[in-house]
């Protein structure tokens, strides 16, 4: 795969996970987040979107660097851990939507199966679990 396509695919995958996660959190943030006591140094709400976008872009760049690295057992393990954290980042968002917590516990075994059987030759394997959500 051409390096530019691999880079854009890696960033796109991470941004897609972030966008999907935001679907779960956006409705809950306006309900409870506004009502909790926050410290004086709490950043303004408008800052969270750009910061999380930058973080997901940086995760995409990290994924790209892992994908172009020389194949090894360490690389494979690191990719599995990366995809696991990316998936858990998405699943964590479900906790902000109480009605979806049940779905979270239903899909954990499926997600762990995907991570455990990951083939380090594809970017598409982690996307398979999105079909079942």
Tens-digit pLDDT string for the chain (133 aa)? 688 999 999 999 999 999 988 877 776 666 667 777 888 898 888 888 899 999 999 999 999 999 999 999 999 999 999 999 998 888 887 776 655 555 556 666 666 666 666 555 454 445 544 544 4
Measured torsion, CA atoms of residues 111, 114, 117, 122, in degrees rounded to the nearest 10: -140
Is residue 28 a contact partner of residue 93, using CB atoms and an 8 Å limit?
no
16 in Cβ contact with 66 (< 8 Å): no
pTM of the model: 0.69
Q: What is the CA radius of gyration of the chain?
A: 16
Domain positions in the chain are: 3-132
29-60: burial string, b at 16+ Cβ within 10 Å, e else: eeeeeeeeeeeeeeeeeeeeeeebeeebbebb
């Amino acid at each position: 795969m051409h390096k530019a396509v691999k880079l854009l695919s890696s960033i796109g995958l991470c941004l897609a996970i972030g966008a999907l996660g935001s679907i779960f959190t956006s409705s809950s943030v306006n309900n409870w987040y506004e009502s909790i006591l926050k410290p004086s140094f709490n950043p303004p709400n408008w800052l969270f979107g750009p910061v999380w976008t930058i973080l997901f872009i940086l995760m995409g760049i990290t994924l790209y660097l892992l994908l172009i690295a020389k194949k090894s057992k360490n690389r494979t393990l690191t990719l599995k851990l990366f995809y696991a954290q990316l998936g858990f980042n998405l699943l964590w968002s479900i906790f902000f939507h109480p009605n979806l917590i049940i779905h979270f516990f239903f899909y954990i075994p499926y997600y762990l199966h995907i991570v455990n059987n990951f083939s380090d030759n594809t970017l598409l394997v982690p996307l398979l679990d999105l079909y079942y959500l």
